[in-house]
Structure 1
Amino acid sequence: VPGALPAALAAARAGRRRIVVPHENATEAAVVTGIDVHPAAALSDVIELERRGYDTPPARVNADRLFASGARGGRLDLRDVRGQLMARRALEIAAVGRHHLLMIGPPGAGKTMLARRLPNVLPPLTLPEAIETTSIHSIAGLNRGALMTERPFRAPHHTTSGAGMVGGGANPGPGEVSLAHNGVLFLDELAEFSPSVLNHLREPLEDRFLTISRAAGRLRFPADFMLVAAMNPCPCGYDATGVRECTCADGARMRYRSRISGPLLDRIDLFVNLPRLEFAELTSRASGEPSASVRSRVATARTTLERARRHSSGAHPDARMLLAEAADRLALSARAVRRVTRIAMTIAAHDGRTAARREDVAEALQYRPGAELTTLS
C-alpha cells in the first residue's frame, strides 16, 4: 500500500509499539527503529496476529546489507563521455557545491549523457536520507516495498503540467520536485517547457520545500534537489555552434529564449556551453575518468567545503580585488556577486583549499550566463 514507511514513522513517533503492514511493504517499514513491524498477507492474518498476542517475530532488516545490495555497479559511467572537459568540470563542481546547472549546446553534444551520469558521482545516500526519499516515493505509490539506496533521478517530459511538476490535485501528492528530493531533477529541452510550469520551480529552488494549500489544510513537501537543465541555443539548435547555419529568424530565437524567465535563470548557478565534438573526439578509444574516481573526489571536496564554511575562510585579497573589478565592469547585482563567491569557494574546495584565490574567482566568472541569456535575467 502507498505510504507504509511514513505510516510506520508516524506510529513510532506517536509511541506505538507495533504496526501491521502488507508483506510487500515489510522491508521498507522495518527500517524504522522503535517499533515492531508485522507483515500480513490478508485481514485474516491480522486477526490471527491479534488473537495470538503478536507472538511471531517482527520483520527485521539490516540497513547496511540493504545499502550493500544496492551498491553501484553497471550504472551509467562518466568514462563513456568523450571530450567536453569544461562541461565535465562544471558537472563536478556542481556536485561538490550542490549548485544548479544549465548546459547549452547543439543536438548530440552530450548534454543528456552528462546529466544522466550525475547521480553516480554524488555521495551515497545516508540512512536518514534514504528513509526520507523512500517515504516520498512510498506516498506516491512509486517504490516497490524496498528502501531506496540510490539518489533519485527524475527527468519529466516537457509536456508535464504544473501539478505534475510541483504536486497537487484534489488529494495533493508529491510532484517531480519532491520525487527528486535528495537527488537530481533533469529538465531536458528546458525552453520547451511551459513558462508557467517553469515559474513553479522558483519557490522550491529558493526554499528547498514546497507548500500546497487546500481548503482542508496545508501540506509541506520537501524539495531539496539539484536542478540540471539542458537546452539548444535556438529552435533549430545550431545558432553560433559552427555545426551548420542557423535557420531561425531573429524573432524566433528571442521568443525561444524568453520562455525561460529571468527570475528562474537567476536561481541557476552554473552556465556552460557545450561545443560540437570533433570527429577525432567522437571516435577516440581513450575512455574518460570513471565515475568512481570522480565520486571519491567530490566527497573529499565536500568535506573541505564544509570546513571552509565553518571557519569562514572567505577569499584571498587578490580574489576579492578581482571580484570587485568584475562587479563594476559587468554591473553584477548583489545576488550575482554572492553566487560567484559561492562558486569560487566550491572551486577552491574542489582543488583542496579552504580559501578562494584569484584563479578561482576567474573560473567562477566563466560560468556566468552568456549575453543571449543575460538580457533575460
Structure 2
Amino acid sequence: MGARVHTVAFQGIDTLAIEVQVSITGGLPAFTVVGLPDKAVGESRERVRSALAAIGLSLPPNRITVNLAPADVQKEGSHFDLPIALGLLLGMGILDPGDLDGYLVLGELGLDGSIAAVAGVLPAALAAQASDRGLVCPAAQGGEAAWAASGDVLAPAGLLELVNHLKGTQILGRPRAEIASDPTVIADLSEVKGQETARRALEIAAAGAHNLLLVGPPGSGKSMLAQRLPGLLPPLTPAEALEVSMIHSVAGKLENGRLLRRRPFRDPHHTASAAAIAGGGLRARPGEISLAHNGVLFLDELPEFQRAALEALRQPLETGTIAVSRANLHVTYPARFQLVAAMNPCRCGHLDDPAQACSRAPRCAEEYQARISGPLFDRIDLHVEVPAVAPFDLARLRPGEATATVAARVAEARALQAERYAGTKITTNREASGALLDRVATPDAPGQALLIEATGRLRLSARGYHRVLRVARTIADLEGAAAITRTHIAEALSYRRRGPGRQSAV
C-alpha cells in the first residue's frame, strides 16, 4: 500500500515542495526514512511510533519505507513528523486517500500525540496559497497561517483532533489572524537630558533611516539614546510586516503565531560570532542582520565585536541582502536594516577627561578606533560625539521633547519621502542613488560649493559624498523644504568625520 502527503522544505524564506511517499509492503518489520533526511528527520520514526501509540494505534508488522521526494534535496527539521504520521495513517487505511489531497502539512509530534510548534509556518502558508491548497499546522501557529493562507487552515493541538476532524467526528474551527501587541512601556526620549546634538542626529536618522554612530565616554547616554530610536520610527506597513514576520517565522522566533507590528530592534552582545550576525550555522539560519530587516540593528561597544562579524556588515549595508553560502547550500536572506552603533573613544573611555585619561593617549584611542575598518566607517552616515553630562546639569536641565513630538516630525518627513519615491522600490532617502539621487538631492549653488570644498578637505569617497547628500535631503525634509541649501549641507557635513578617531572638518 502507498500514500502521499504534501509538505515543504525551507531554503531561506523560500520553500521547496516536498512529497512524503509512504510504502507499506511485506517483509521483515522495518521503518526506514530515505531522501536525505537529517538527524531530526531520522528521529521522527520514534516520535511517530509513540504518537500513534498514544492515540491507540500501532504500526503494522511490515516493511515501512518513507521517501521524501525529491530525494536529492537535504531535508531538515522536525516539521516532517506530522506529514509522515498522516502518510502512515493513509497507508494503514485509517484515513481515506482523498482526505489530505488538498492540504500542505507540517508539524512536530510529541510522544503523547500532541503537535508542537515548528519554524516556517508563515512561508509554508504562502506556499499553500500559491498552490491552491489548505494548510495543516500546529495550534500554536494557527494565527500565523491565517494571515497568509486563503484556503482551509487546520490547526489541531493533537494528532487525535486532526484525525477526528478528517473522519468527520469533530470540527476544527479556522484560527484567527492576530498581530503582536505593542510593548506596554516604551522608553521616552524626554528622559534624555542634554545631548541636544545627539538628539538631533537621532531624529535625522529616524527620518531618513540613516546609519548612526555614537561616540562618547561611559555613562554619557549612548545606549539610552539608541534604545529610544524605535519609538521614533513609523509602524511597519502590511507588506513590510509580512516580510519581517516571514524571517522571524523561519528562525522560529514568531511568538504565538502573531505577525510583528513594530519594527525589530536587535541588540546582540559583542561576543556574537560572524555566523550569529550574518547568518549561517548548520542549517543556515537567519542572523541578526536579517532579524533586524526593516528595523534597527544596535551594536553596543562596536570595536569589541569580532573583526569578521563587523566586516560581514559591509555588503548588506549596501545591497540590503545577505547570501549565506555553504558547501552544499546557498541561501539569500533580506537584510535591509538601519545600523546604530555606540563606542567609547578609547579602551578606558576617558580620552577627553584630563583627570582620567590614560598615559597612552592619543595612541590608545587611535588603536582602539582603528578596529573599525575604513570601508565600514564610510558606510555610516552620521557620526556623533556624545559628551558626558555633568551631575550639576543632570539636576538642573529640564526634560527635552517627548518621543511623540519628535515622532510626529519624523512621520511628516517619511510622508514626503513616500510621495517623492512613489512608484519605485525606494521608501527612504537612504536608499536613493544614481540619477534619482541627483534629481532629488542636488543642492543650490552655495551648498554645492561648500560640499565640493568639504569633499576635498575631508577626503570623502564617492560613497561619503553621496551619503552627505542623502542626509542633507533628510534635513531639508524635516524642515519641509523643497530645495537643499548651504545650511542643510553644512549640518550634514558636521556629522561626517574623516575616519576612525578623526574629527569633522566643519
For normalisation by structure 1, the TM-score amounts to 0.91
- Superposition deviation, residue 354 in structure 1: 2.3
Structure 1 distance, partners of 2:119, 2:137, is: 11
Q: Does 1:343 align with 2:471?
A: yes
SS at match of 1:30: helix
Q: SS of the counterpart of 2:155? A: strand
Question: Contact between 2:460 and 2:498, CA under 8 Å: does it hold in 1?
Answer: no
- What is the Cα deviation at residue 254 of structure 1? 2.6
* Structure 1 counterpart of 2:139: 23
Higher strand share: 2
Corresponding position of 2:124: 7
In the other structure, the counterpart of 1:282 is 394
1:208-234 Cα deviation digits (max 9, x unpaired) = 111112233311111111000000000
Q: Deviations over 1:344-364 (max 9, x none)?
A: 111100111122111000000
Of structures 1 and 2, the one with the larger relative CO (CA 8 A, separation 6+) is 1
Partner secondary structure for residue 107 of structure 1: coil
User: Following TM superposition, by how much is the alpha carbon of 1:72 offset from its aligned partner in structure 2, in angstroms?
Assistant: 5.6
Could you say what secondary structure the match of 1:220 adopts?
Answer: strand
More helix by share: 1
Q: Which residue pairs with 1:86 in the alignment?
A: 197
Change (3 A) 1:144 1:114: same
Name the SS of the counterpart of 1:283 in structure 2: helix
> What is the distance in 2 between the residues matched to 1:136 and 1:217?
18
Q: CA deviation at 1:181?
A: 0.9
Q: Distance in 2 between matches of 1:54 and 1:339?
A: 61
Alignment of 1:259-278 (within 5 A): 259-278=371-390
Distance, in Å, in 2 between the alignment partners of 1:95 and 1:279 is: 29
What secondary structure sits across from 1:244 in the alignment?
coil
Q: Secondary structure at the match of 1:229?
A: strand
**2-structure distance, mates of 1:206, 1:54:** 53
Question: What letter corresponds to residue 11 of structure 1 in structure 2?
Answer: A
The answer on whether the counterparts of 1:97 and 1:346 sit within 8 Å (CA) in structure 2 is yes
1:122 aligned to which of 222, 233, 251: 233
Whether the 8 Å contact between 2:345 and 2:501 is mirrored in structure 1 is no
**Higher alpha-carbon Rg:** 2
CA distance, structure 2, for counterparts of residue 329 and residue 5 of structure 1: 51
CA apart distance, 1:53 = 9.8
Tell me, in whole angstroms, the C-alpha distance in 1 between the residues paired with 2:203 and 2:128. 40
User: Residue type of the partner of 1:19?
Assistant: L
Rounded Cα–Cα distance in structure 2 between residues aligned with 1:216 and 1:3 = 21
Query: Equivalent residues in 2 for 1:50-65 (5 A)?
Result: 50-52=166-168, 56-61=172-177
The residue number in structure 1 matching 2:206 is 95
Shift of 1:241: 4.6
1:252 aligned to 354, 361, 364, which one? 364
How many Å apart are 1:36 and its aligned residue? 2.7
Secondary structure at 2:255's aligned position in 1?
coil
The answer on 1:209 being equivalent to 2:307 is no
CA-atom RMSD, angstroms? 2.2
Contact 2:155 2:175 in 1 (8 A): yes
Consecutive unaligned residues of structure 1, counting only runs of 5 or more, are none
The CA distance in 2 between the partners of 1:226 and 1:241, in whole Å, is: 31
Does the aligned pair in 1 maintain the 2:194–2:397 contact within 8 Å? no
Question: Hey, what's the Cα distance between the residues in 2 that align with 1:319 and 1:99?
Answer: 21
1:131 to 242, 250, 274: 242
1:296 offset after TM fit, Å? 1.5
Q: Which region of structure 1 is more displaced relative to structure 2, 128-137 or 358-367?
A: 128-137
Q: Compared with structure 1, are the counterparts of its residues 216 and 329 closer, same or farther at alpha carbon in structure 2 (3 Å cutoff)?
A: closer
- Aligned amino acid, residue 136 of structure 2: V
* CA shift for structure 1 position 317: 2.0
| Identical-residue share of aligned pairs (%) | 46
SS in 2 for 1:19: strand
Runs of at least 5 residues in structure 2 that lack an aligned partner in the other structure: 1-117, 423-435
2:331 is aligned, of 205, 219, 240, to: 219
The CA deviation at 1:51 is 2.1
Q: Per the alignment, do residues 372 and 184 of structure 1 end up closer, same or farther by CA in structure 2, a change over 3 Å counting? A: closer
Q: Deviations over 1:218-262 (max 9, x none)?
A: 111111110000000000001125673334454433321121111
Does structure 1 conserve the Cα–Cα contact (< 8 Å) formed by 2:322 and 2:332? yes
CA distance in 2, matches of 1:324, 1:249: 33
Residue of structure 2 in register with 1:229 after alignment = 341
Q: C-alpha distance in 2, partners of 1:315/1:163? A: 41
Q: How many residues align?
A: 369
Q: Following the alignment from structure 2 to structure 1, what is the Cα–Cα distance between the partners of residues 120 and 499?
A: 47
Tell me how far apart the structure 2 counterparts of residues 72 and 126 of structure 1 sit (CA, whole Å). 18
Shift in Å at residue 57 of structure 1? 3.5
Partner of 1:355: 483
Shift of 1:285: 6.4
Q: 1:372 to 1:174 in 2, by over 3 A?
A: closer
